[in-house]
Amino acid sequence: MKKKYSLIFLLVFICIAIIYMSMLIGKKIEKERVSQIIPQFPIYNLDGTKFLTNKNFKWNDRIVFCYYNPECEYCISFSEKLKKYNSILDSTTFLMVSNAQDSLVNYFIKKSGLSLLKNVHFISDKNDTIYNYFNIKSIPTYFIYKNKKLVAKFSGIVKIETLTQ
């Protein structure tokens, strides 16, 4: 009798383990698919006009998606440092993406002075499309693409040199 219950328990455990492993593999495949290519959906400026898709934007050597919040201290510090590195931005485009209210983002832009830099663009994510696509877990998060392929992902404090090399 004990052997029968042990066998049933073992079979149930194996079934649960197989289901769990297949779920983990599915999540891993989805994460790899999502982050390996630049998104195909349209991306919008703060004023609601279309900014880019894979088809209508001239890509530089390096694209950095920076998902930020205008009230985040790390993000504010990053923006201050980014202005100092204007000379090395020729081959890197920064897409500053936020889902915050327009008033907060506009204040951040005005205070940071980043709108004066030619390779820094501000993108609106009002519907959390980019947030969900990239599965953002913390802010700031950086996705670095070169030739439309993901080369690195960082969360939290990162040196600008790391993002532009």
Q: How far is CA 142 from the centre of its chain?
A: 5
Identify whether the C-beta of residue 95 lies closer than 8 Å to the C-beta of residue 62: no
Mean pLDDT across 124-132: 87
Q: What is the pTM of this model?
A: 0.73
Interval 31-40: pLDDT, tens: 454 556 666 6
List C-alpha distances in Å: 90 to 20, 25, 164: 46, 39, 10
Specify which of 50-54, 82-86, 151-155 reaches the highest per-range mean pLDDT: 151-155
At 56 the pLDDT is: 46
Dist. CA 115–CA 113, nearest whole Å: 5
State which H helix or E strand residue 94 sits in: strand 92-98
